[in-house]
């Protein structure tokens, strides 16, 4: 009986590997059979295009960003000038001005009537 | 163009030299990235980043290693950075995904493998292998990938990783042992 058990045990030891052992081995071996791959066509062209964007002169791309205050001031100045020009070039402007002066003169009793 | 002349031209910003550099190294750089991230799109994006980094940093290249070694170091470094980013997303994603707010991140499934170097009939097995490799500590993963998947010699791996030859041997030994353990658990549970 004991010898029968012993021979069964030794049979088991010499048995073929379990299925899972074969799977483990096959999976590990797969690592060494993976082929090298190549990038898609025009890979180089895409890299060069990205490089062009990256190395575009800072002055060209950031000029607006660096001078934004100066540009804003210039725009404001132009707007004020334009407004002023429009105001003084309109036909109503002189009479409005003259009425204003007369009103001030009346207040201080400096009209021609009051003076003379 | 010889390495020295190429480096000098690159330092002067020569586009021609850069174009030649890409011609010489694009396949290997792409392949290295692919063997870490397992899909073509990410590998191409990373490979582009590698070349741009080479262009930006060529002034810092001291010449204490070969140009090729330096370029492949950048490839490995960029790939590992990408993987770390995804793992961070996955960790935060888990909480968000539990709340139903975001799909879980990095998880190597067969349908996510887009590795032209893997034959169709091996996709499932490759997914299992890549998942197991991805679970290794970074240094073991790097050494194993460079040696077993890329087919680089121990010496090349040591130069790339800037470690000693004996360290590489130890890393690969531990990587194989850990992989075997993980794969055994996987297949025993399956069967």
- pLDDT tens per residue, range A55-68: 776 546 567 777 88
Name chain A contacts of B180, Cβ cutoff 8 Å: 24, 28
pLDDT at residue B106 in the model:
40
**Minimal C-alpha gap between B171 and chain A (Å):** 16
Task: Inspect the interface and report whether the beta carbons of B129 and A30 lie closer than 8 Å.
Answer: yes
- Pairs of residues, one from chain A and one from chain B, whose beta carbons lie less than 8 Å apart: 98
User: pLDDT tens digit string along A15-67?
Assistant: 556 888 999 999 999 999 999 999 999 999 999 999 988 877 654 656 777 78
Contacting residues for B124 by C-beta, under 8 A, at least 6 apart: B110
The answer to whether B69 faces chain A, any CB pair under 8 Å, is no
ipTM of the complex: 0.84
Q: Which of A9-13, B3-7, B69-73, B160-164 has the weakest average pLDDT?
A: A9-13
- B22 at interface of A, judged by CB pairs closer than 8 A: yes
Structure confidence at residue B94 (pLDDT)? 55
Report the residue of chain A nearest B42, measured CA to CA: A39
Give the model's pLDDT for residue A59: 46
Q: What is the DSSP letter of B6?
A: H
Residue among B34, B116, B125 minimizing CB distance to A27: B125
CA distance A79 to B140: 68
Report the distance separating Cα B133 and Cα B147, nearest Å: 13
The Cα B187–Cα B171 span in angstroms is 24
Which residues in chain A have their CB less than 8 angstroms from residue B43's CB? 39
């Amino acid at each position: 009986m004991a010898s029968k058990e012993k021979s069964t045990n030794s049979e088991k030891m010499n048995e073929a590997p379990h299925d899972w052992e074969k799977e483990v081995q096959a999976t590990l071996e797969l690592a060494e059979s993976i082929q090298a791959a190549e990038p898609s066509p025009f890979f180089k062209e895409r890299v060069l295009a990205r490089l062009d964007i990256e190395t575009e002169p800072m002055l060209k791309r950031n000029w607006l960003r660096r001078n934004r205050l100066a540009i804003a001031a210039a725009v404001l100045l132009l707007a004020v000038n334009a407004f002023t020009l429009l105001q003084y070039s309109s036909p109503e402007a002189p009479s409005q001005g003259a009425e204003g002066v007369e009103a001030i003169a009346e207040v201080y009793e400096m009209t021609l009537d009051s003076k003379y | 163009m010889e390495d020295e002349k190429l480096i000098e031209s690159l330092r002067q910003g020569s586009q021609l030299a850069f174009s030649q550099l890409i011609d010489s190294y694009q396949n290997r750089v792409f392949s290295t990235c692919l063997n870490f991230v397992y899909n073509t799109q990410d590998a191409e994006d990373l490979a582009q980043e590698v070349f741009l980094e080479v262009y930006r940093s060529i002034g810092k290249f001291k010449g204490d290693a070969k140009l090729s070694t330096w370029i492949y170091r950048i490839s490995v470094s960029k790939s590992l950075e990408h993987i770390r980013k995804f793992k961070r997303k996955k960790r935060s994603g888990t909480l968000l995904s539990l709340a139903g707010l975001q799909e879980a991140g990095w998880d190597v499934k067969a349908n996510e493998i887009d590795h032209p170097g893997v034959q169709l009939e091996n996709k499932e097995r490759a997914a299992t292998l890549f998942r197991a490799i991805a679970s290794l500590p970074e240094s073991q993963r790097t050494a194993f990938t460079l040696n077993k998947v890329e087919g680089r010699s121990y010496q090349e791996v040591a130069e790339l990783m800037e470690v000693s030859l004996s360290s590489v041997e130890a890393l690969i030994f531990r990587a194989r042992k850990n992989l075997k353990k993980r794969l055994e658990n996987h297949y025993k549970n399956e069967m």
